[in-house]
Amino acid sequence: MNKNLILLHSDLKKFGLNPLDWKLKKMKKRHYKIANINDNNFYFLGEIQQSGLVPQWAKIQLASF
């Protein structure tokens, strides 16, 4: 995992998600699928914003459960 992806993965806890329960998949330049590791059909969609060199979550929304 690259450094930016590690930071985004760790920052899931700011949204009440345990990073150990989720995997990230880049969909587009700024969009990620955040899927549960036990149930790929339970996922969120996240959008990032670039703040200097460090990406941050702009929003995360439930997409399917």
- pTM over cut 0.85: yes
Q: Could you identify the residue written with the tokens 């700024």?
A: 30
Tell me what pLDDT residue 27 has. Answer: 94
Tell me what pLDDT residue 60 has. Answer: 97
| Residue 57 CB coordination number (10 Å) | 16
- Output the average pLDDT for the chain: 93
- Specify which residues 36 forms β-bridges with: 22
CB-based burial label for 1 (10 Å; 0-12, 13-18, 19+): exposed
Banded pLDDT at 1 (limits 50, 70, 90): low
Determine the Cα–Cα distance for residues 56 and 42; give it in Å rounded to an integer. Answer: 22
pLDDT tens for each residue of 17-48: 999 999 999 999 899 999 999 999 999 999 99
- Domain ranges for the chain, please list them: 3-64
